[in-house]
Structure 1
Amino acid sequence: MLTVAATVVVLAAAFGLISVRWLRLPIVVGTMLLTVLSSVGLLALSGAVPSLRQAALHSFGQLNYEAFMLHGFLALLLFAGAFLLDIESLWEERVAIVILSVFATVISTLLVGCGIRYCAPWTGFHPSWIQALLFGAVISPTDPIAVLEMLRRVAAPRWLQAQLAGESLFNDGVAAVLFITLLGIAEQGRAPSVPAVVSHLLIQSGGGLALGCVLAWPVARLMRAVDAYQIDILMTLSLALGGYAVAEHLHVSAPLEAVAAGLALRWESRRNPNNIAREEIEHFWSAIDEVQNSVLFVLMGLQCLVVAYSRGFLLLGGVSIVVVNVARFASVACALLALRLIQPHRRSSLAVLSWGGLRGGLSIALALSLPFALGREWILATTFIVVTFSIVIKGGSMDIFLKRFAPQD
């Protein structure tokens, strides 16, 4: 296990250096691209030297990516992302963020499910309705990591950064709740009533948000009781990991708990900063966020070694790229139309929000958690293709795209 961890960290450092020094790409985009290319090259060489792939599978097959992501990395990633956000801009854009993270995610899940249900037969696959909707829930959450770096680089407005980042953080939890609900329906073999589904979603989501806020308050009080930045950092780590574990034990949304805890602690530390080492904490979580993301994208790229591909999977992946992007555009358009009705003067950008909806590690982790009887093989392969396209192609072109389409203050 130590060998695997050391290899991943070395690859993350090497690929990050190449990305910044020579490719001039965002670290996460370049890291993902180089890892996928390395994995594909290894697969190509395995035809001549079969032992290469066998050794790689033996090494990296030991890592349980699903558990590593859903029950480890995600807690720190979401907490760090929420804690480092501009809380004032986020509050100003709260209505837009709620509509985008909830309404647009639900619409996207339904549209992707319908699109795959009717388009997949062209590629030789015939998924059931529940499998198609599960894929919709898997692929709907967006990842803010790569695009936020680009937004800052082109000096995009703070309100646009807040909308895209806030949506990405909260829709992780919403999509995870949708996924768990659909998975429960599939395993029970019958659909529950609409009120039962809605109440389950509200309990899961609301419980996670409430728990995060409740846990952040005593942590902030304890941080003010001592004047030592080391203790402050340990307290924030305790909140990020401990709160996530408590949420899982209570069967409420752990991703939403992590987001709420990060935001609540940020708000408490800014409201009353006495004896709280704000700069040291922010530097710590910024470093944790960047290092984790580099490692995560290496792990994502290495999943190429364990995903089974065929000509049919590649065709389905190509169709899914079109379906997912059309669904993203339509769901964001519906969300912004609703926003315009509620807040007629609220600014937004359909082009940037649609193209900036990158997919990431949560989608792969959710796909890996599916049982084979519910289409795990095709969903995992298709998800990996869509995520790779999203990070490498869309993320790699965001610099040019934002310079052309990002509105200015």
Structure 2
Amino acid sequence: MSASLLLVAVVAVIVAALCRRYGLSAPLILVLVGLGIGWIPGTPEVELDPEIVLFLILPPLLYSAAQDSSYQAIRANRRAIGLLAIGLPLFSTIVVGLVAYWTVPNLPLAAALVLGAVVAPPDAVSAQAIGRRVGLPRRLMTLLGGESLLNDATALTAFRVALAAAVGATASLWEGVSTFFIAAVGGLVIGLAVGYAVSWLRLWLTDPPMETAIGIIVPFGTYFVAEEAHTSGVIAVVVAGLFLGQRSVRLGYATRLQDDAVRKSIDAILESFVFLLIGLQLPFLIRGLAGESWIQVAIDATVVLLATIVVRFIWVYPATYLPRVFSSKIREREPQPPPRAVFVVGWAGMRGVVSLAAAFAIPMTTDSGGTFPARAEILFLTFVVVVGTLLIQGTSLGWVIRRLGVAADDAEQDRLAFAGAQDRASRESERRLDEMAAELADDDPNRHQVMMLRKWVTTQRNVAWEELGRGPEDIGESPTAAGNRMRLELLRIQRSVFINERDEGHIDDEVLRTALRRLDFAEGQMDREDL
């Protein structure tokens, strides 16, 4: 099994790398590749293990997303995010569950609600990736990101309650509400405690490799502790990630650079792995439906898929506009979004591996010893919802955004904000340089260093304003860009000389690595992304 999982990971990374190289949608291609590989004769069967997904894959992905999120933006949009991340999963659980109860033969209500909870949480990873590529307004990106951070906790808690009722455990409405409250509050407390402890430890260490190593194990440890305490591991990981993301500005630059590179690499591997793993499940799920009427199965799958897609629209439009009807404060504080923007939020409801993991976590038997009702059907219906939403909504989301004209140029506002902040930072730096120069004698050789630093600070300010005034249509090279180009050429020459010195035996590899590291940092200062 371990060899099979390793092979899946290798294939997934290769396919994802090719998709990124040629500008293709990696999640969709990976699912299709998994579907194809699953039918190759002799291919080892790789059944999705819910423990692997919930304990090894979900925590680092949530933690990374939380660290990249803006606490201020989430707080400013907490009402809208709460309606999407808490209200919508609960609404979807009930509505989709009732539709399945009325449609799927021999499916008890409790088991139907289990299915509703399983397919309730959207996976916003691919939606956010498409949104960044086509330029979704930042508020929509904040809503989708905030929803993805918290909706898993809501849906998985609802799943526990519905599952308890389906297997014969007592689960009244009050018990369900208290379970959700305890899980949420407990996860919040544990996440904050872990965040404080880890933040203090990393600042105390001042050791970039160990700080990054601690950051890698934080999501796993946080999730495990929270789950062992019978609270929400998802909420605990998200809170810890948000807290540490805010505190990351206190870390050294080497730790921040290293953290970012390591997290992005881990995210790329895990996201590729899970989407390929989704596609590989089809042969196993079909065998579980042996003897069933495929006409009835197709009808059930179509109805549940449509219900899952439509229920999101039924929720998002009233949730967007009704609060503004009844509250003047909301109307004054938040601009009313156009219906086309709300449609994009409704269409960005692709499901992911969390739904499949929850479905596979359904036990084979109930507490009374009987077989769990329609477990195979629930697994297959979940698979259809996940793959169907990825193929239908995932392939068309970018087109829908462009067709409706929802994309916005937040980049121009970012450049203006950055230029203003850089101007203030540069002027404050120049004020301090004036103080330093006043403390030096006229013949002090350090006055030359002050002059060089003043030129560097001036260049920083000029670059920010140059970028603000230059659009994609501008032709020609700015003075700063020309200077950077020349400096990069010199760095490449120096790098080549050091490598030749090593190859000719004049210096050893340790000296070469030290030299290359210094040159890399110098190049990295000029190779930042444009705001």
Same fold per TM (> 0.5)?
A: yes
- Equivalenced residue count is 387
**Secondary structure of 1:141's partner?**
coil
Are positions 1:152 and 2:151 aligned together? Answer: no
**Secondary structure of 1:140's partner?**
coil
- Which structure 1 segments of 5+ residues have no match? 43-51
Deviations 1:131-181, CA, capped at 9 Å, x for gaps: 111111000001011111111001111111010111012000110011011
Match of 1:91 in 2: 75
**Secondary structure of 1:56's partner?**
coil
Report which structure shows greater RCO (CA 8 Å, sep ≥6): 1
On the 8 A contact 2:135/2:407 being kept in 1, the answer is no
- Specify the code of the residue in structure 1 equivalent to 2:119: I
- Specify the code of the residue in structure 1 equivalent to 2:26: I
Match of 2:177 in 1: 198
Which of 94, 104, 110 lines up with 2:94 in the alignment? Answer: 110
CA 87–243 in structure 1, closer or farther in 2 if over 3 Å, else same? same
Are positions 1:365 and 2:365 aligned together? Answer: no
- Which structure 2 segments of 5+ residues have no match? 365-371, 411-531
Which of 118, 130, 134 lines up with 2:110 in the alignment? Answer: 130
Taking the aligned partners of 2:168 and 2:255, their CA distance within structure 1 comes to: 50
Taking the aligned partners of 1:126 and 1:232, their CA distance within structure 2 comes to: 54
Between 1:79-88 and 1:146-155, the stretch displaced more is 79-88
Deviation at 1:17, TM superposition (A): 3.9
Match of 2:485 in 1: none
When Rg is computed on C-alpha atoms for both structures, the one with the higher figure is 2
Taking the aligned partners of 2:189 and 2:271, their CA distance within structure 1 comes to: 27
On the 8 A contact 1:370/1:376 being kept in 2, the answer is yes
Q: 4+ residue runs of structure 1 moved beyond 4 angstroms?
A: 273-276
**Secondary structure of 2:122's partner?**
coil
Match of 2:273 in 1: 295
Match of 2:432 in 1: none
**Secondary structure of 1:306's partner?**
helix
**Secondary structure of 2:285's partner?**
coil
Deviation at 1:339, TM superposition (A): 4.5
Q: TM-score, normalised by structure 1?
A: 0.89
Are positions 1:279 and 2:257 aligned together? Answer: yes
Match of 2:14 in 1: 14
Taking the aligned partners of 2:25 and 2:245, their CA distance within structure 1 comes to: 26
Are positions 1:328 and 2:349 aligned together? Answer: no
CA 306–261 in structure 1, closer or farther in 2 if over 3 Å, else same? same
- Specify the code of the residue in structure 2 equivalent to 1:25: L
Taking the aligned partners of 1:266 and 1:333, their CA distance within structure 2 comes to: 32
Between 1:98-107 and 1:82-91, the stretch displaced more is 82-91
**Secondary structure of 1:385's partner?**
helix
Taking the aligned partners of 2:169 and 2:317, their CA distance within structure 1 comes to: 34
Match of 2:521 in 1: none
On the 8 A contact 2:106/2:374 being kept in 1, the answer is no
On the 8 A contact 2:9/2:273 being kept in 1, the answer is yes
**Secondary structure of 2:135's partner?**
coil
Map residues 354-393 of structure 1 onto 2, 5 A cutoff: 354-372=346-364, 373-393=372-392
On the 8 A contact 2:111/2:163 being kept in 1, the answer is no
- Specify the code of the residue in structure 1 equivalent to 2:156: A
Q: TM-score, normalised by structure 2?
A: 0.69
When the two chains are superposed, the root-mean-square deviation of aligned CA atoms in Å is: 2.1
Map residues 218-237 of structure 1 onto 2, 5 A cutoff: 218-237=197-216
Deviation at 1:306, TM superposition (A): 1.3
Deviation at 1:190, TM superposition (A): 4.9
- Specify the code of the residue in structure 1 equivalent to 2:150: F
Taking the aligned partners of 1:235 and 1:346, their CA distance within structure 2 comes to: 42
